[in-house]
Structure 1
Amino acid sequence: MSSSYHRQPLTIDEEGLLMPALLPNTAPQRVLAACNFVYTLGSGLYLTAGVLYFTQAVHLPAGRVGLGLGVAGIVALAVGVAAGHLADRRGARGVYATTLAVQALATAGFLWADSFWLFVLAVGVVAGGKAAGQAARSPLIRHYGGDRPQAFRAYLRAVTNVGISLGALAAGWVVHVGTVPAYRLLVVGNAVAFAASAAVLLRLPPVKPVATTGGPRWTALRDGPYLLLAALDGVMGIQFKVLTVAIPLWLVAATAAPHLLVSGIMLVNTVIVVVFQVRAGRGVDSPAAGGSAYRRAGAAFLVSCSLISLAAGVPAWAAATLLMTAMVIHTIGELWHAAAGFEVSYSLAPPHATGQYLGVFGLGAGVAEALGPGLLIALCIGWGRPGWYVVGALFVLTGMAAPPAVRWAQSRSPGRAPAPAPPENASDNAPIPSTVA
């Protein structure tokens, strides 16, 4: 762990087997962490039950919801790179705060989205604001993240999941109650959290724009290897939609598991991420290690998808056991996937164009937003059990393609000599975290 953090008296384990009680050492880092925490209190509500809001409260068909979320993902593709470039040139804090305010207003618009096209408009603006915000936040993380911003980014993800877990608790009550007023309260809570996070961010000192080094304006869009990595990360990023789209719909429509388990699954996921994300990133300290982590993640997702498929047609206790086991394995893959993305995206991005490059890397997330919901609903919900196997195969093939793509990116990136290849299977034999606080 870099010197940007200090250890608190409640630290349990010097080796990090349990979640260390760490706080950022600098005031700007604490502001960014607080902004993340507040933001994700609302995100936990929406990630856990947002799809169910539109299907159960607004009564839109699941297929139309998937189509609308796909359109929203296309919108996100269009704005991320531009917002990152604007943050590099005009100042990241103001751009990021603006995106949070836009998301707050658009989320509140869900209350009036009682038709398909109003739904598409609202989720499109939210998805665009989210993609723009992620790109605009990247220069702030790089500037205030210390010697290794990837480590601070992993820390922020752990904090993020604390907020998501608390939001998921409230969302579980909403799903359990299942009334329209309860679902509307979920939307209001999400919008308020976005607005509050923008207010917290204003306490962050502004970051001066980085001077350009000359050359083409849109260098990231000319970097073929980096674009390939962004695409692979995007395909792998569909795994996030397994958690927030496919599993809730599968659980409700195809299994006998109790509906309250939707919240429990989210809690298992977030607790493991909180405990282990920083630790999972410690060994992923080079682009080559990132490629290996992608490969391990793909294998984990294949196993979890196979177990999820088996939850249909069995007694409630067996379905619940299969789903919870699958979620633990899925989350281990998620830890590796996230650590790989943090390392590759920052290591191969030049400092003067962090926002632009991370905006390009966010195109992958936009692909997942655009294609993921519809693809998962069509395969996993529409086709059923065989569709889960197809999705798992997609993940494992993507993971296998990542290491050669990383080597190509290192060989083609000016000033970034390729790192030596890791010993055969060295990363693959790393121990899997097994202790949860």
Structure 2
Amino acid sequence: MRQLIPDTSPQRVMAASDLVNSFGGGLYLTAGVLYFTQAAHLPTAQVGFGLGAAGVVALFAGIGCGRLADRYGGRDIYVVTLVIRAAATAGFLLAHSFWIFLITVCLANSGQAAGLAARSLLIRGHGGESPQRFRAYLRSVTNLGMSFGALLAGWIVTVGTHSAYTLLVVANVIAFAGSAAFMFFLPASEPVPVPHGRSAGWVALRDVPYILMTVLEGIMSIQYKVLTVAIPLWLFAFTTAPHWLTAGTVIVNTVIIILFQVRASRNVDTPAAGGAAYRRAGTAFLLSCSLISLTAGLAPWTAAALLMTAVVVHTIGELWHCAGGFEVSFALAPEYATGQYLGLFGLGSSLADAVGPGLLIALCINGGRQGWYVVGSLFLLTGLAVPLTIGWAQRHAVPARSPTALPVVDQPQ
């Protein structure tokens, strides 16, 4: 049990905050769309447009908030983003018109994107000698919290009453507020001084190799939509496997991540190791996509067994992908601009959220079996391109890229 608890008090505080926060995230991701359509009674087309618009707005929140965190300290900026998310989520209770819905969901999504950038600064500051390892631990904690949130969301959807959906929103607000409250037990951090001769401006936007790395991360992050978008649609349209397997694939994926993300990140502690992890991930994604394509037309339980095998292989690739991303995103970012760089890196996931579902539907569902081979090949080529990009980034490294922690200001609590 001692190995399951972080070593330092700040790490334990961040883990507790993330656990509560991700519980709210699990609620929203599982049943948020249903709240807007079933409880707020908004047309599906308006909900889809609003969520898409919120995703676009959030693209610009991360890097801007990351720069603020670099200049004024990560803890307080992160708390502000959590408060914004709590307030915006509370506004969902009033979202019975399209414009109120649009404003609140844009604020909530922007707060989430901004918070991830500020949180990255805290992970580097309090992660000890291996912030990448600590980030892997927090991902396991996040998946655990989201699992609990998804269970409550499943009950809410089953009940289906207006009161139950109201509970979803209220519980989400409490989760974000509770997460913010935990953060006040974390020592405040001072910004890292800008090295002499360096600019404190938008340095990340001038780092071309890191921008390319962000694009590659965005392409690889489309893999997250395979389990949540492509597999459910494929299972219903092309296989005879039991429909409940859509939930089974997510459960298997989540359990493996909770148990093995830290272990998968253990030896990924250099940029070269991060590039190798991306390469292995691309290979695993190609194999899993190929296995999924073979499930069409098989007997029900044969298709189910092959599909679950593909999910296990895909999740192994996801473990490597995340381990590589944790290492590379930190290792190639200068300390004095950590928030700004990690905010830029987060754009990759946001872009995957925006284009991933449509791309997978077009290739894998509309394109049939051949589309899976195209998607798998795209992942493989991306994984092969990452080590080359890392080498380019190291040859053109921004000065002050070092693993030392952020200075901390001890404040009485």
Normalised to the residue count of structure 2, the TM-score between the two structures is 0.85
Residue 351 of structure 2 is aligned to residue 351 of structure 1: no
**Which of 333, 354, 360 lines up with 1:376 in the alignment?**
360
Shift of 1:386: 4.4
In structure 1, list runs of 5 or more residues that go unmatched: 1-6, 9-20, 418-437
Local SS of the residue matching 1:39:
helix
Shift of 1:404: 0.6
Q: How do 1:192-271 and structure 2 match up within 5 A? A: 192-213=174-195, 214-216=197-199, 217-251=201-235, 257-258=241-242, 260-271=244-255
- Between the aligned partners of 1:49 and 1:254, the Cα distance in structure 2 is 26
8 Å contact kept, 1:92–1:207: yes
Q: 1:352 to 1:46 in 2, by over 3 A?
A: same
8 Å contact kept, 1:48–1:263: no
Instruction: Report the equivalent of 2:29.
Output: 47
- Between the aligned partners of 2:358 and 2:98, the Cα distance in structure 1 is 15
- Between the aligned partners of 2:213 and 2:178, the Cα distance in structure 1 is 34
- Between the aligned partners of 2:107 and 2:177, the Cα distance in structure 1 is 15
Q: Which amino acid aligns with 2:262?
A: V
Q: 1:313 to 1:125 in 2, by over 3 A?
A: farther
Q: Which amino acid aligns with 1:303?
A: L
- Between the aligned partners of 1:120 and 1:254, the Cα distance in structure 2 is 36
Local SS of the residue matching 1:284:
coil
Q: Which amino acid aligns with 1:207?
A: S
Shift of 1:170: 2.9
Instruction: Report the equivalent of 2:407.
Output: none
- Between the aligned partners of 2:168 and 2:238, the Cα distance in structure 1 is 25
Instruction: Report the equivalent of 1:125.
Output: 107
Q: Which amino acid aligns with 1:270?
A: T
- Between the aligned partners of 1:55 and 1:248, the Cα distance in structure 2 is 21
- Between the aligned partners of 2:172 and 2:243, the Cα distance in structure 1 is 21
- Between the aligned partners of 1:314 and 1:53, the Cα distance in structure 2 is 37
Q: 1:306 to 1:71 in 2, by over 3 A?
A: farther
8 Å contact kept, 1:51–1:245: no
- Between the aligned partners of 2:47 and 2:35, the Cα distance in structure 1 is 10
Instruction: Report the equivalent of 2:326.
Output: 342
8 Å contact kept, 1:176–1:259: no
8 Å contact kept, 2:55–2:354: yes
Q: 1:72 to 1:295 in 2, by over 3 A?
A: farther
Q: How do 1:2-81 and structure 2 match up within 5 A? A: 8=2, 21-50=3-32, 61=44, 68-81=50-63
8 Å contact kept, 1:47–1:244: no
Local SS of the residue matching 1:413:
coil
Shift of 1:285: 1.4
- Between the aligned partners of 2:308 and 2:214, the Cα distance in structure 1 is 30
Q: 1:45 to 1:301 in 2, by over 3 A?
A: farther
Residue 305 of structure 2 is aligned to residue 325 of structure 1: no
8 Å contact kept, 1:265–1:327: yes
Local SS of the residue matching 1:45:
helix
8 Å contact kept, 1:92–1:136: yes
Shift of 1:219: 1.1
Instruction: Report the equivalent of 2:119.
Output: 137
Residue 366 of structure 2 is aligned to residue 394 of structure 1: no
The percent of aligned pairs where both chains have the same amino acid is: 62
Q: 1:234 to 1:253 in 2, by over 3 A?
A: same
Instruction: Report the equivalent of 2:144.
Output: 162
Deviates more, 1:254-263 or 1:222-231: 254-263
Shift of 1:121: 4.0
Instruction: Report the equivalent of 1:99.
Output: 81
| Per-residue deviation, residues 34-58 of structure 1 (Å, max 9, x unmatched) | 0111111122233344456567775
- Between the aligned partners of 2:306 and 2:225, the Cα distance in structure 1 is 19
- Between the aligned partners of 1:254 and 1:50, the Cα distance in structure 2 is 28
Q: Which amino acid aligns with 1:106?
A: A
Local SS of the residue matching 2:5:
strand
- Between the aligned partners of 2:357 and 2:150, the Cα distance in structure 1 is 20
Shift of 1:294: 0.8
Local SS of the residue matching 1:24:
coil
Residue 255 of structure 2 is aligned to residue 276 of structure 1: no
Q: Which amino acid aligns with 1:357?
A: Y
8 Å contact kept, 1:296–1:333: yes
Instruction: Report the equivalent of 2:69.
Output: 87
Shift of 1:67: 5.3
Q: Which amino acid aligns with 1:283?
A: N
- Between the aligned partners of 1:260 and 1:186, the Cα distance in structure 2 is 23
Shift of 1:370: 2.3
Shift of 1:204: 1.2
Shift of 1:199: 1.6
- Between the aligned partners of 2:295 and 2:50, the Cα distance in structure 1 is 28
- Between the aligned partners of 2:56 and 2:137, the Cα distance in structure 1 is 29
- Between the aligned partners of 1:312 and 1:178, the Cα distance in structure 2 is 34
8 Å contact kept, 1:70–1:372: no
Deviates more, 1:216-225 or 1:263-272: 263-272
